[in-house]
Structure 1
Amino acid sequence: MSTPPWPPAAERTDGSAVRIGALVPLTRPGWVEAGHHLLAGLELAVGDVNDAGGIAGRPLELVVRDTAADPDRAAAAVEELAGLGVAALAGEYHSVVARAAATRADALGLPYLCSSAVLDALTEQPTEWVARLSPPQSRGWRIYADFLLGTGHSRIAVAAQPSVYWASGTRILRDHLTPRGGTVIELDMSALTPTAVRDELVEHRATALLLLVGHPEPAVPLVRSVRRDERLAEVLIGAPAGQPEFAEWTTSLGDDGAAIPFLRYLPERLTPLGTRVGTTLSERLAEAPSFVAFEGYDTVTVLAEVLRAQGTDRARTAESWPRVDVPGTRGRIRFSRVPGISVWQWAVPPVQVVDRDPAHPDRFRILHTG
């Protein structure tokens, strides 16, 4: 491990706070609802840590920076937080933003536990400084592809916007589906209108349309357009990236937003800790917490255990990733090296394919697990 250019956070016994930097999308064009859920989980865990005595008697403090889904803004925030002496970095929802943050954290020697971003290549080269809780995209999207095949869908259209994340997802789907008899049809949403997409689906005889696009635009008008075309009544609409997870989806689409399968990173049953945390998060958010909120809570829980054991020296924190063994809200968290992944990875986070029940859109149906 190289010597970090920034000095590690100093060890102190005077009761001053141990600070963790938190990257969260809180303004547009970031997914604000996801950011609020992530921050709620982070903040609840900080409160629980402090109620239990903090870090060796020192309070834990969250220093929050809004990324607004901007990679450059995130990289600048990492620079600032490193200079402020935070012991570690947490958070982020958007994969491309998390990649920028991870790259900068690696260069600065700042431990970063990524909460909720799935892009496989968070850093170009293997790093000791970064670990991740969410499953890599290659695992989750292959599980989603298995779900599609298992439900009889082999001609899959993907309506995609230009993005490293969406391009990576398309490649994963094609590499997994093609050897199993599937076909992936790419529809470029920088060139097609929702009406044109409908005609493409008919022409290519697609049985499923996957939304590899942002929300609310163009996801909402695209769903409405397809739902209202009688020619496409049997076409499955899917959203592997998880757009229907949040209440805003139902607010925007109503009944049209149901029966759209997406990936969610929750187990069939939460741990006892998860059940307690879920109840408190529901009260704070005034709605059911998403898996992103649980990821936030688990992030701080892991970092607190590491800081209690290792102190606030950044190098010791990063060296401790392979020794982590912490009970979280969704299972026991341990990190390992996963082939093809450049960061320390929780190898077995839960993965589900779920949708909103058409009869009760505020309820979820588990369709597939992996």
Structure 2
Amino acid sequence: MNAPPSPRGADRIDSTFLRIGALVPLTRPGWVEAGRHLLAGLELAVRDVNEAGGIVGRPLELVVRDTAADPRRAAAAVDELARLGVAAVAGEYHSVVAREAAARADALGLPFLCSSAVLDALTERPTEWVARLAPPQSRGWRIYADFLLGAGHSRIAVATQPSVYWASGARVLRDHLAPYGGTVIELDMRALTPTDVCDDLVDYRATALLLLVGHPEPAVPIVRSVRRDERLTEIMIGAPAGQPEFAGWATSLGDDGTGIPFLRYLPERLTPLGARVDTALRERLTEAPSFVAFEGYDTVAVLADVLRSHGADGTHGAGRARIADSWPRVAVEGTRGPIQFSRMPGISVWQWGGAPIQVVDRDPAHPDRLRILHTG
């Protein structure tokens, strides 16, 4: 499967442009909706940078590569982008894919600003080359666990599939809930049907079912089965990974997809820049932008600031090193608040510690409206 064409002849070496590589899931089995929103944010920010004069007079160019949620494909894309002379790599939504891209960028000495992936162990060892905007999974999922406790849920079932991301999330929930008497039972979706899930929920006397599975399969059939089971009318369905964020969820499930709390990384009120970007993203996407679109915009905003200050010649080793060296000196007003990077315990990359976190759901009375249930 070929990647979509890169903009403005991006396969040619052209010193006129200053290039940023972009890793985005644009085809399945990647989460295409997330990729589309991420790319919209990245592209809008590049447009704004260039309309403001570019980087020291040079226009910024985005060189897009489709990862299709394939770690090996992402690693190969990082190699290609390095050869093409990009100053840095940005993007990616899927954690397991971003982890492979980060490892390759670290090995090559290529700066990588990860937009959306949350897995704590983004790299196996501490690295100076990688920074991240999305909050670590341990922070976001602990906040989600606090929400569960506050809502009175202590018997939690998780429908899960094999993945380091899902396993890490389940571990965070279990460790955080245990001191408060909470228990977590895992339902292995390799062996269970949606009907089996309903039976297990009844047997376990669970008060909440969390979907640690892919969308649309098997998440959509599980939700439909639980919603139609008269024994489970009081159970809460949750999706901490954010599956209900995108319009495809509502299209697939309709009213069944409402009232399912999930994590998103937006503040209660956007910055003035964020409000302007929100309007532009709505025009570009023809729908409400997700938090992923704002992550994309903020990614380019940070890289543009770094390039202006430290790395306008970032196509070479010394310039790339200056970009990586600048992570701790970043101070950028993003769409969701001021962005700075620091070292956090247990996190191997430079991390934005101030990313806003909300637990929200789709309002059953107005499915297109999101309700804020909890913040952290």
What is the TM-score normalised by the length of structure 1? 0.96
Per-residue CA deviations over 1:106-148 (Å, capped at 9, x if unaligned) read 0000000000000000000000000000000000000000000
Corresponding residue SS for 1:169: helix
Structure 1 distance, partners of 2:266, 2:310, is: 29
Matched residue, 1:156: 156
The Cα shift of 1:232 comes to: 0.4
Per-residue CA deviations over 1:20-79 (Å, capped at 9, x if unaligned) read 000000000000000000000000000000011100000000000000000000000000
Aligned CA-pair RMSD: 0.7
Corresponding residue SS for 2:127: coil
The answer on whether the counterparts of 1:109 and 1:315 sit within 8 Å (CA) in structure 2 is yes
Identify which of 332, 338, 343 aligns with 2:344: 338
Match runs of 1:11-22 below 5 Å:
16-22=16-22
Matched residue, 1:10: none
Match runs of 1:187-226 below 5 Å:
187-226=187-226
Per-residue CA deviations over 1:135-177 (Å, capped at 9, x if unaligned) read 0000000000000000000000000000000000000000000
Matched residue, 1:274: 274
Matched residue, 1:302: 302
Aligned residues: 357
The answer on whether the counterparts of 1:43 and 1:62 sit within 8 Å (CA) in structure 2 is yes
Structure 2 distance, partners of 1:181, 1:336, is: 34
Structure 2 distance, partners of 1:291, 1:253, is: 21
The Cα shift of 1:348 comes to: 1.3
Matched residue, 1:355: 361
Matched residue, 1:250: 250
Match runs of 1:112-261 below 5 Å:
112-261=112-261
Corresponding residue SS for 2:105: helix
Per-residue CA deviations over 1:60-107 (Å, capped at 9, x if unaligned) read 000000000000000000000001110000000000000000000000
Structure 2 distance, partners of 1:369, 1:181, is: 22
The Cα shift of 1:180 comes to: 1.1
Matched residue, 1:7: none
Structure 1 distance, partners of 2:83, 2:179, is: 49
Structure 2 distance, partners of 1:339, 1:233, is: 41
The answer on whether the counterparts of 1:15 and 1:59 sit within 8 Å (CA) in structure 2 is no
Per-residue CA deviations over 1:172-220 (Å, capped at 9, x if unaligned) read 0000001111000110011100000000000000000000000000000
Structure 2 distance, partners of 1:63, 1:287, is: 25
Matched residue, 1:81: 81
The Cα shift of 1:15 comes to: 6.8
Matched residue, 1:46: 46
The answer on whether the counterparts of 1:15 and 1:57 sit within 8 Å (CA) in structure 2 is no
Matched residue, 1:328: 334
Structure 1 distance, partners of 2:306, 2:160, is: 40
What is the TM-score normalised by the length of structure 2? 0.94
Q: Which amino acid aligns with 1:359?
A: A
The answer on whether the counterparts of 1:243 and 1:262 sit within 8 Å (CA) in structure 2 is yes
**Unmatched runs of 5 consecutive residues or more in structure 1:** 1-13
Return structure 1 stretches of 4+ with deviation > 6 angstroms: none
Q: Which amino acid aligns with 2:195?
A: T
Matched residue, 2:289: 289
Structure 1 distance, partners of 2:113, 2:180, is: 35
Q: Which amino acid aligns with 1:21?
A: G
Identify which of 361, 364, 369 aligns with 2:370: 364
Corresponding residue SS for 1:240: coil
Matched residue, 1:6: none
The Cα shift of 1:329 comes to: 0.1
Corresponding residue SS for 2:336: coil
Q: Which amino acid aligns with 2:31?
A: W
Structure 1 distance, partners of 2:190, 2:168, is: 17
